Amino acid sequence: MTKVVVVGDRLVSSATLKEAAGQLNIPGPIEVVEFQWHGDLTKDQFQEKILLIEKGGPEAVDIPEGILPEMIEADYLLVHIAPVSKEMIAAAQQLKLIGTCRGGIEHVAVDAVKEKGIPLIHVIRNAEPVADFTLGLIFAETRNIARSHQAVMAGKWRKSFSNDPYKTTLANLKVGLIGLGYIGKLVVQRLNGLGVEVLVYDPFVDQEAIVAEGLQVTFKALEEVFSEADVISLHVRVTPETTNMVNKALISLMKPSAYLINTARAAILNKGDLVEALKEKRIAGAALDVIWSEPIQQEDDLLQLDNVTLTSHIAGDTIDAIPRSPYLLRNVLNGYFETGKSDMLIRL
């Protein structure tokens, strides 16, 4: 008997995870033990739990009651954003794999997982929406769509903007991507379809494999992407190495006509260095769907700027992406079981 423990939450039900777990291509009969983590909270209350996890990791919140005894003989653990804590990993004596149906892994005690050598696979359940939204932010910022709308709604017929000297069509711009994971590849596909030149920095990808996939990109060093691209879009996870990765040193390499887009995580970007560059007009603008403090505070310096587009962390917010994510996880896991390889396998 293969034992699979699933933990649902307010956004992804344990019933859906259980159904997906029953469709895994693993040996023998499957016993699925299900837990529900704070499924009874309101949307705002659950968002508070998510923020606690994103700031403090899995140890910042409680784990499902009764899960520790079940972890002892668990072979597989599937979750959405429910915590996978050090205590849970310590209890597991035969865990073969952890699967999570979300892009970020802040809810997982990664060091404990690494220490035990347990494979960790995630799926970016909202990759398509985020890729679409990234393009939307590029258009919104470079062509002043949001700023013009805001002015018109306020009764102003605005025709002049701070990036007037640089305005041009997307086809005339080079877009640089920092990170070429699942979302990054989808962004490349869209840019390729629009005939846009794409520069990429990602030291971890197999460049030959990228070419074999038919993606048209030019690989560059990090500093080269920042100095040559007209639009730079961030698509990396938050790790100790990537925290504040984009700072004054890199921003200073950007052209005065260049834009910075972030639909990944705020911590990748040094806030003070970005705000300073925007205030001094050393870059043309920025568009951010992720903010260092969410919701944004009224005294935040970003709200005083006229060369930034801000959205309320909605890049991945579509009606179907999150509820159906267990089935995407099922497909990715079955592919991994068949080949022993996966783009969604986290490098620990």
Q: What are the domain boundaries of the chain? A: 2-125+322-339, 127-310
**Percent of the chain, pLDDT > 70?**
100
294: Cα within 13 Å, side-chain hemisphere: 22
Q: Which CATH class name applies to 2-125+322-339? A: alpha beta
Residue reference for tokens 């089935």:
327
* Local confidence band at 107 (pLDDT 50, 70, 90 cut-offs): very high
- Identical fold, 2-125+322-339 and 127-310: yes
Residues forming the active site = 265, 294, 313
Number of H helices, E strands in the chain: 13, 12
Span 254-280, mean pLDDT?
A: 97
- The pTM score is 0.77
Q: Tens digit of pLDDT for each residue in 153-210?
A: 999 999 999 999 999 999 999 999 999 988 999 999 999 999 999 999 999 999 998 9
State the pLDDT at residue 80.
Answer: 96
336: Cα within 13 Å, side-chain hemisphere: 22
Which CATH code of 3.30.950.10, 3.40.50.720, 3.30.499.10, 3.90.1300.10 fits the domain covering 127-310?
3.40.50.720
The edge-to-edge listing of strands for the beta sheet with 30-37 is 30-37, 2-9, 76-79, 97-100, 120-122
The DSSP string of 26-88 is: -SS-EEEEEEEESTTS-HHHHHHHHHHHHHH-GGGSPPPTTHHHHHTT-SEEEESSS-B-HHH
